[in-house]
């Protein structure tokens, strides 16, 4: 049992120290990276600032090479709280566009992965022929196909949410399929034999033994899958040409060298990822506790 004190000295203090160190390094990097451009600019303007004044200037450039943390925070605040939800500049709106594609793709990918896993466990021919290909296909950089899928679907008239969601599906079904095959095979031989002595049918074995046994594997693999889904949705937004979503904000930022905007979009994407993973984690713990797992 971890006491509160252990938590503070063993976990919280080290994490906060390192986070503080990251912020300090970040400010230092902002000075180092922005200094050459600023010196150049001042030389042409014929002025010369020194010491602290110069450092402060590097932290408040309108288009810095490396934005300082407070600039990113200010931009993030402005684009989330400072603008209306329906506005094209609202990061909450863009996050929602990306999240909706992520969730749709994740749902389809998980369903597909579970169906594939169940058929692989029940059909020996599929186990021998399909499973090696699923594992091989994980070594293929699937995101390379993303722009093609988007453009092809647009060519036959499918646009909007679905193409992005399909890329998410593509990325998220692998971990679920592989994890669930392991999970559905995890009941030990004694339990399987017991089911046989009950003369249970295959579907009874599936519903009463295999699926309950696979629940921990399921949550472990959907945690990977939902992070992959988000990446799929963001990359899926790149070739659409900056319409909406976090990916399009990244692309627009890179067109106009708006580093502050790129960082703000990155923060929004990271918050989405943390929210999604935490949500899966909490659901998993809740379900496992309801199923009688002792913490």
Residues of this chain that interact with other proteins (CB under 8 A) are: 10-11, 14-19, 33, 65-66, 124-125, 127-130, 132-133, 136, 138-145, 147-148, 151-152, 155-156, 227, 230-231, 234-235, 238-239, 246, 250-251, 253-254, 257, 259, 262-263, 265-266, 269-270, 273-274, 277
Structure tokens at 53: 């004044």
Nearer to other proteins, 209 or 264 (CB): 264
* DSSP state letters, 134-184: HHHHTTS-GGGGHHHHHHHHHHTT--THHHHHHHHHHHHHHHHHHHHHHHH
Which of 68, 209 has the CB closer to other proteins?
68
CB within 8 A of 120, min separation 6: which ones? Answer: 126, 127, 130, 131, 177, 181
Report how far residue 212's alpha carbon sits from residue 280's, in angstroms, rounded to the nearest whole number. Answer: 18
Cβ-based neighbour number of residue 206 at 10 Å: 16
Q: Which is nearer to other proteins, 33 or 192 (CB)?
A: 33
How far CA 204 is from CA of 123, 167, 185, 199, 251, in Å, comes to 16, 34, 15, 10, 51
Q: Say how far apart CA 263 and CA 250 lie, in whole Å.
A: 8
Q: Which is nearer to other proteins, 215 or 273 (CB)?
A: 273
C-beta of 187 vs 232, nearer to other proteins = 232
How many other CB atoms are found less than 10 A from the CB of residue 192? 14
Taking the complex as a whole, how short is the minimal distance between the CB of residue 261 and other proteins, in angstroms? Answer: 10
Residues 6+ apart with CB under 8 A from 231: 143, 171
Query: To the nearest whole angstrom, how small is the minimum distance from the Cβ of residue 114 to other proteins?
Result: 21
Q: Which residue, 3 or 199, has its beta carbon nearer to other proteins? A: 3
CA separation, residue 195 to residues 83, 120, 187, 255 (Å): 60, 20, 11, 62
Q: Of the two residues 18 and 194, which places its CB atom closer to other proteins in the complex?
A: 18
CB contact at 8 A, 260 and 71: yes
Nearer to other proteins, 180 or 234 (CB): 234
CA geometry: angle 282, 286, 289, nearest 5 deg: 140
Q: How far is the CB of 133 from other proteins (least distance, A)?
A: 6
């Amino acid at each position: 049992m971890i006491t509160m004190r252990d938590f503070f000295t063993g976990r919280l203090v080290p994490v906060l120290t390192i986070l503080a160190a990251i912020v300090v390094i970040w400010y230092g990097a902002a000075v180092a990276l922005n200094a050459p451009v600023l010196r150049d600019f001042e030389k042409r303007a014929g002025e010369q600032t020194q010491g602290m004044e110069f450092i402060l200037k590097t932290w408040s450039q309108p288009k810095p090479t490396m934005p300082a943390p407070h600039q990113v925070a200010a931009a993030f605040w402005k684009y989330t709280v400072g603008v209306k939800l329906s506005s094209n500049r609202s990061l909450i709106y863009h996050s929602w566009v990306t999240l909706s594609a992520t969730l749709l793709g994740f749902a389809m990918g998980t369903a597909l992965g579970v169906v594939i896993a169940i058929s692989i466990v029940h059909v020996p021919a599929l186990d021998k022929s399909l499973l090696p290909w699923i594992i091989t296909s994980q070594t293929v950089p699937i995101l390379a196909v993303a722009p093609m899928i988007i453009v092809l679907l647009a060519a036959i008239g499918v646009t909007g949410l679905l193409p992005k969601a399909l890329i998410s599906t593509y990325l998220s079904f692998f971990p679920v399929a592989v994890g669930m095959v392991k999970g559905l095979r995890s009941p030990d031989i004694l339990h399987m034999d017991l089911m046989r002595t009950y003369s249970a049918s295959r579907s009874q074995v599936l519903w009463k033994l295999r699926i309950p046994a696979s629940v921990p594997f399921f949550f472990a693999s959907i945690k990977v899958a939902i992070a992959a889904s988000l990446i799929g949705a963001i990359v899926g937004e790149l070739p659409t040409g900056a319409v909406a979503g976090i990916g399009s904000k990244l692309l627009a930022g890179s067109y106009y060298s708006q580093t502050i905007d790129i960082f703000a979009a990155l923060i929004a994407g990271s918050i989405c990822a943390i929210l999604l993973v935490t949500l899966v984690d909490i659901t998993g713990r809740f379900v496992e506790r309801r199923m009688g797992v002792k913490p």
